[in-house]
């Protein structure tokens, strides 16, 4: 049974010619095709389609453009009673929609048929045809299964089961969503801006269109002259050419959308109705003289609304609890001139449609759905078998949904028998879901109640669990592999401005098939290539999504791409290595996102340890420097992979090796250049000699610091980047394998950092050193000290300079913090922390602190007139920040800049940026991570010495009984330094060498260059202990004996 009302002057009520004479109040509706049941009604401007439960379609109303899809009897211009469309009788129609003068029908196989007016291309048949009298299948959609269609006045929109949206017809207002300057289309076009979005509904108005996602995000586009798109008040565009997320509807829980000519109404989860757009006929229901911009709730509706439908100029709602149908708005208003209607034959159409139904007209009737058109409305009712769910059916429930995974489907796939019809059906279902980003995303959507402002919209844990479950079945794995590779990855949304469209990029790393060795190249490589092709806007959105991930899920993404990089390492020396670049570029994006998220993951999660200690690193440094020299002249596609361009993948050992290889490359390069010039001059019979290829520095041991600084000030900049060879005046010249240079820096820095020298200050005896606020030495010395620090690093010397971590932060352009002040001055740092921790309101009275501080024996105002400005709970953070800034920056700015200038005279700023401050500190001054057991384990024995030799056994017994200070003294004696290199104790291999001519009266000797201990054979452990301690106590001087 159905009900209807309106002004059916053209017969669109289907009640016969007698009812076409004037407005008809709410009454029993027509019986289409002889039956009383109505599944759906669709109303154009002057025609109606009535769909019966058996899949037959009847039409009535005007047929001037063939919109009825059937021929009328001779002499008839209109069909006053509904009659079946014969051309569709072979089809089981499940859904119908009407435009102004065109019609669409969808059959149970997902095929779409169109008829009626087609001059704007709204029929989608491939031509701009004035009219089509007979329904024709739209070939452009024949490969798809369409589940929804909707019609605007002159355009059409379809939603496919795979989640894609298509549009065709007029595009003068951008209502197709295809972009600006796109003409009207006579065949269906994919609305690519919605790619990847799990669409729940499409709806069209006169010249505007909406899509509602399963996440309840509303997208609108097309005509906006009356603000019918619901955009913000600041957005005054009258036309929107691509889908635009309507922010005002983002948080109200929209579940259904309906559109009129120039207005829109939405129904929310809680049964509220919001309307926006043109209110000239009262169709918004706001009952206010002043129209508010944007979507507004219809406040006066008494009770939750369960059904909603928009006619062209009115809105219809049904509230199931009181059983009331309420209409607001009027029929179309026609311009009247001189008391005569512009079209005298249609004067009855100028009427108030809402007056034809009262709230209680359908009281006691079990309403199923409501349908509204320009001049007429229809109501379908529940059949007796549907009464049990009478209170639960909503317009959204009647809409067909895109394909998605659920528990029923998963169990069906896992339990299916190979070779059966069910097996073939399961394969089709897998193909549909795993070919479509939208369907796969729809399968794992979080409930809207669980979503926050920056929340990831998909449940990644659920996805991980489901993928693990499915991939235990081999035939399912094969299907998933195939469709991910052939359809889904090539079809990823790369230019979408919408966050929810990009959820697929978060889901794919959770699929375990991506991690299989054989899939790393075809799957992960192609995914990386796709991510790198994304538009800047999409890429930025994806980075924000990564920033929102928890550590577990972000690490999953990182490890997937790292594993793919590792799989390509064997091809580093081949042309195939270029394939690694897209992977590294994605890892770089992930690294950047992690940094912006305040390091969700530790930096070590990005390290590719497999690179360390391989031939790759020295080769890579060479590639990197060559690329830098020719970067402007070579095409990026011709550049091989260079890991140095992605230094975040290097662990500390790799970074240190790269730094050392780079230093060696420059030093050996100078030597090679000199050799080349020498050979060339020989051939040309020239007497000219090349520049000396090393940096010889001869200094006086007796006046080491001043002599070094004087000679250093005379050296040209280019010489600083050559290998440093130190010789002490008056001492035997020999091959320096590093020992003399190491000793030089040891003594030099020991004297210069001594408080008595006056260059640096110490807060207390156990604190690191810092620059003084009022230096007692000339500024130039800080410049030269910076050069010396750079030289020690460049020449791979570990020299203990007791700087705090803050200096390395500043060198790497990072700000020192309160934690750094705690290291430099524990007393001051602790007191400032207590200020920050103070929670009581009496801070001014109790602590009595002002913006005036004492530092380095000076009273300083941190701000103008700081001594009179008290610190309170509001400004205490600012006070602490200014204190830290003063200590580390303002108070030492001039001399620090001199130090920094000298430091970077020697070193390359770019390569130092590979390091974190703590890492650079370790490279420069080593660490104190002693492992004395490993020291013994790594020992090498020469000649008669073996681990079981009596002297060796006595040595290790004595050594392990030494104090830590004595062990460090021995390390200094053996290696020239008591610090541990970055690479750890493995780098320090003590080599025991027996000396056949030395008696036990001799003390042990050491060759620091090679870590060789010349150890005489001792008869007793006491003798060995005595001589070893003597050597440790006299551990100064190269070639100790």
DSSP annotation of 502 reads G
Q: How many CB atoms lie within 10 A of CB 283?
A: 27
Give the three-state DSSP class for 113.
strand
Distance of alpha carbon 462 from the chain centroid: 20
Distance of alpha carbon 16 from the chain centroid: 62
Q: How far apart are CA 51 and CA 528, in angstroms?
A: 49
DSSP per-residue string spanning 597-624: TT-SS-GGGG--GGGTTSTHHHHHHHHH
DSSP per-residue string spanning 972-985: HHHHS-SSB-TT-G
Q: How far apart are CA 950 and CA 966, in angstroms?
A: 22
47 and 59 Cβ atoms separated by less than 8 Å: yes
Bridge partners of 470? Answer: none
Bridge partners of 57? Answer: 51
Q: How many CB atoms lie within 10 A of CB 656?
A: 22
Bridge partners of 458? Answer: 445
The answer to whether the Cα torsion of 610, 612, 618, 622 is positive or negative is positive
Do the strands 199-204 and 940-941 form a parallel or antiparallel pair, or are they unpaired?
Answer: unpaired
The answer to whether the Cα torsion of 522, 525, 528, 529 is positive or negative is negative
Do the strands 694-699 and 723-728 form a parallel or antiparallel pair, or are they unpaired?
Answer: parallel
Give phi and psi for 236, each to the nearest 5.
-100, 15
Euclidean distance between the first and the last CA atom of the chain, given in angstroms as a whole number: 114
Distance of alpha carbon 371 from the chain centroid: 43
Q: How far apart are CA 789 and CA 457, in angstroms?
A: 52
847 and 835 Cβ atoms separated by less than 8 Å: yes
DSSP per-residue string spanning 841-891: TTHHHHH--BSEEEETTEEEESSTTGGGSB--TTTHHHHHHHHHHHHHTGG
Tally the C-alpha atoms within 13 A of residue 3's C-alpha that lie toward its C-beta: 18
Distance of alpha carbon 450 from the chain centroid: 20
CA angle 475, 476, 478 (to 5 degrees): 65
Strand order in the sheet with 78-84: 40-43, 47-51, 57-62, 78-84
Q: How far apart are CA 394 and CA 267, in angstroms?
A: 10
Catalytic annotation, residues: 1009
DSSP per-residue string spanning 882-940: HHHHHHHTGGGHHHHHHHHHHHHHHS-HHHHTTS-HHHHHHHHH-B----HHHHHHT-E
Q: How far apart are CA 1009 and CA 947, in angstroms?
A: 23
Give the three-state DSSP class for 428.
helix
* Cα–Cα distances in angstroms (integers) from residue 974 to residues 741, 1010, 1041, in the given order: 15, 9, 12
474 and 418 Cβ atoms separated by less than 8 Å: no
> Which residue, 472, 476, 587, 478, is CA-closest to 527?
587
> Which residue, 580, 493, 581, is CA-closest to 545?
493
SS3 of the chain: helix, strand, coil, percent, to 5 = 40, 20, 40
Q: How many CB atoms lie within 10 A of CB 964?
A: 10
């Amino acid at each position: 049974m159905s009900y209807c009302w309106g002004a059916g002057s053209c017969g669109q009520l289907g009640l016969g010619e007698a009812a076409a004479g004037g407005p008809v109040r709410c009454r029993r509706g027509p019986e289409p095709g002889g039956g009383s049941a109505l599944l759906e009604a669709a109303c154009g401007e002057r025609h109606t389609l009535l769909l019966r439960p058996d899949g037959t379609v009847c039409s009535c109303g005007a047929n001037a453009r063939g919109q009825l899809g059937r021929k009328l009897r001779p002499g008839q211009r209109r069909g006053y009673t509904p009659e079946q469309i014969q051309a569709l009788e072979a089809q089981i129609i499940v859904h119908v929609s009407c435009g102004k003068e065109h019609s669409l029908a969808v059959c149970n196989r997902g095929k779409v048929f169109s008829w009626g007016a087609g001059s704007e291309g709204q029929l989608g048949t491939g031509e701009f045809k004035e009219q089509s009298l007979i329904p024709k299948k739209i070939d452009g959609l024949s490969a798809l299964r369409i589940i929804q269609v909707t019609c605007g006045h002159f355009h059409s929109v379809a939603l496919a089961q795979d989640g894609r949206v298509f549009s065709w017809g007029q595009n003068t207002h951008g209502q197709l969503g295809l972009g600006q300057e796109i003409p009207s289309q006579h065949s269906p076009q994919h609305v690519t801006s919605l790619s990847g979005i799990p669409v729940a509904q499409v709806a069209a108005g006169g010249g505007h269109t909406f899509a509602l996602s399963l996440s309840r995000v509303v997208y609108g586009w097309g005509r906006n002259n009356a603000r019918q798109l619901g955009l913000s008040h600041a957005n005054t565009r009258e036309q929107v050419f691509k889908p635009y997320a309507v922010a005002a509807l983002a948080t109200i829980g929209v579940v259904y959308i309906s559109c009129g000519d120039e207005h829109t109404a939405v129904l929310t989860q809680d049964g509220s109705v919001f309307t926006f757009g043109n209110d000239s006929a009262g169709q918004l229901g706001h009952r206010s003289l002043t129209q508010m911009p944007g979507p507004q709730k219809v406040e006066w509706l008494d009770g939750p609304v369960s059904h909603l439908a928009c006619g062209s100029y009115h809105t219809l709602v049904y509230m199931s609890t009181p059983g009331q149908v309420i209409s607001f708005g009027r029929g179309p208003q026609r311009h009247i001139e001189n008391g005569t209607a512009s079209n005298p034959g249609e004067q009855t159409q100028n009427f108030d449609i809402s007056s034809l139904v009262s709230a209680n007209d359908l009281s006691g009737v079990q309403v199923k759905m409501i349908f509204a058109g320009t001049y007429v409305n229809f109501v379908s009712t529940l059949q007796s078998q549907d009464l049990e769910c009478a209170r639960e059916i909503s317009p959204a429930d009647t809409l067909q949904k895109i394909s998605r995974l659920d528990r029923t489907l998963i169990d069906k796939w896992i339990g299916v028998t190979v070779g059966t019809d069910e097996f073939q059906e399961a394969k089709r279902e897998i193909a549909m879901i795993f070919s479509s980003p939208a369907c796969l995303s729809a399968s794992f959507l979080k409930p809207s109640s669980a979503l926050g402002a920056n929340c990831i919209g998909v449940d990644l844990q659920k996805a991980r669990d489901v993928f693990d479950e499915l991939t235990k079945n081999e035939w399912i794995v094969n299907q998933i592999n195939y469709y991910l590779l052939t359809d889904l990855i090539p079809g990823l949304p790369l230019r979408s401005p919408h966050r929810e469209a990009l959820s697929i990029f978060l889901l794919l790393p959770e699929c375990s098939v991506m991690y299989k060795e054989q899939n790393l190249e075809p799957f992960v490589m192609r995914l990386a290539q796709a991510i790198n092709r994304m538009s800047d806007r999409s890429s930025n959105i994806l980075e924000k999504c990564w920033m929102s991930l928890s550590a577990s899920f972000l690490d999953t993404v990182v490890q997937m791409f790292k594993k793919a990089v590792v799989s390509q390492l064997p091809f580093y020396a081949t042309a195939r290595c270029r394939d690694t670049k897209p992977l590294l570029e994605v890892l770089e994006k992930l690294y950047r996102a992690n940094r912006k998220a305040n390091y969700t993951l530790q930096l070590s999660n990005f390290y590719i340890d497999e690179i360390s200690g391989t031939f790759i690193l020295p080769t890579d440094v060479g590639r990197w420097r060559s690329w830098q020299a020719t970067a402007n002249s070579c095409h990026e596609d011709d550049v091989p992979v260079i890991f140095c361009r992605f230094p975040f993948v290097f662990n500390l050992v790799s970074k240190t090796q790269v730094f050392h290889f780079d230093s060696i490359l420059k030093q050996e390069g100078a030597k090679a250049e000199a050799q080349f010039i020498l050979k060339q001059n020989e051939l040309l019979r020239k007497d000219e000699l090349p520049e000396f290829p090393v940096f010889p520095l001869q200094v006086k041991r007796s006046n080491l610091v001043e002599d070094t600084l004087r000679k250093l000030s005379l050296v040209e900049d280019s010489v600083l980047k050559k290998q440093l060879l130190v010789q002490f005046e008056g001492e035997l010249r020999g091959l320096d394998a590093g020992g003399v240079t190491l000793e030089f820096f040891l003594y030099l820095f020991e004297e210069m950092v001594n408080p008595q020298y006056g260059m640096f200050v110490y807060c207390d005896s156990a604190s690191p050193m810092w620059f003084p606020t009022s230096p007692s030495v000339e500024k130039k010395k800080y410049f030269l000290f910076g050069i010396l620090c750079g030289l020690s690093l460049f020449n791979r010397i570990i020299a203990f300079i007791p700087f705090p971590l803050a200096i390395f932060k500043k060198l790497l352009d990072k700000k020192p913090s309160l934690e750094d002040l705690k290291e430099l001055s524990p007393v001051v740092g602790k007191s400032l922390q207590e200020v920050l921790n103070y929670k009581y309101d009496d801070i001014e009275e109790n602590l009595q602190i002002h913006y005036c501080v004492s530092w380095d024996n000076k009273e300083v105002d941190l701000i103008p007139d700081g001594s009179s400005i008290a610190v309170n709970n509001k400004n205490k953070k600012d006070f602490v920040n200014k204190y830290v800034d003063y200590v580390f920056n303002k108070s030492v700015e001039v001399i620090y800049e001199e130090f920094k200038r000298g430091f970077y005279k020697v070193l390359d700023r770019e390569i130092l940026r590979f390091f974190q401050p703590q890492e650079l500190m370790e490279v420069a001054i080593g660490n104190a991570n002693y492992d004395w057991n490993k020291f013994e384990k790594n020992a090498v024995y020469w000649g008669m010495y073996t681990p079981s030799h009596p002297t060796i056994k006595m040595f290790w017994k004595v050594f392990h009984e030494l104090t830590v200070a004595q062990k460090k003294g021995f390390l200094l004696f053996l290696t020239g330094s008591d610090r541990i290199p970055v690479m750890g104790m493995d780098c320090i291999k003590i080599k025991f060498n027996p000396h056949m001519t030395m008696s036990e009266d001799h003390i042990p000797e050491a060759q620091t260059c090679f870590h060789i201990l010349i150890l005489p054979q001792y008869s007793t452990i006491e003798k060995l202990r005595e001589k070893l301690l003597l050597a440790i106590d006299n551990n100064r001087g190269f070639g100790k004996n």
